[in-house]
Amino acid sequence: MDFRIPYQMVKPQVLSRKIFLRLLSALITSFFLWIWYRINEYQFKNDSQLEFRHNDDIPGGLSYFGKYYLFRQENSVTAFSTTCTHAGCRIGKTYSSVLQCGCHGSQFEASTGIPLRGPAYKPLQKLDCQFDSKSGQWIVRM
Ligand code: FES
């Protein structure tokens, strides 16, 4: 008996140019997506590792530091982001107890971050702020 497959039944697998170009473009796209993902991951790690230290001599009320501000009431210090919750503008420096966004006019109560006037309706992001008794400093983590 002859168990060989007849020549007509074995179709040769040839990679057409069209399929090859599709595979190549998928490979290149995947490569760039992977690079984009790694860059974003790296930036996110760097942003999430931001840590700021302040000595315990923070004055009462609002102290502005660009990306965030501190609000001191007696022995407690609270930190809030200065990124407006409406469309992401940076809220400018102020010395009053009300923060006003220069983009669309939202106002926030400095001690709580709660919006007093729209269009923003979400409160400002509260940041992690703890007193380190070893160093005697307030540590703000973003
Ligand atoms: S971005 Fe602040 S009010 Fe619109």
Query: What is the CA(112)–ligand 1 centre distance, in A?
Result: 18
Mean pLDDT value across residues 116-137: 86
Q: Is residue 124 in contact with ligand 1, taking CB distance under 6 Å? A: no
For the whole model, what pTM was predicted? 0.62
Ligand 1 atom showing the smallest separation from residue 91 Cα: 2
Q: What is the mean pLDDT of the chain?
A: 83
Query: What is the CA(8)–ligand 1 centre distance, in A?
Result: 72
pLDDT of residue 17: 85
Q: Is residue 104 in contact with ligand 1, taking CB distance under 6 Å? A: yes
CATH number for region 51-141: 2.102.10.10
Mean pLDDT value across residues 63-78: 85
Nearest to 126 by CA among 102, 142, 105: 142
Ligand 1 pocket: which of 82, 91, 101 to mutate (most atoms within 8 A of CB): 101
Domain coordinates in residue numbering, the chain: 15-48, 51-141
Q: pLDDT at residue 28 above 90?
A: yes
CB neighbour list of residue 96: distance below 8 Å, 6 or more residues apart: 62, 110
**Tens of pLDDT, residues 71-87:** 888 888 888 988 888 88
pLDDT of residue 11: 64
pLDDT of residue 31: 96
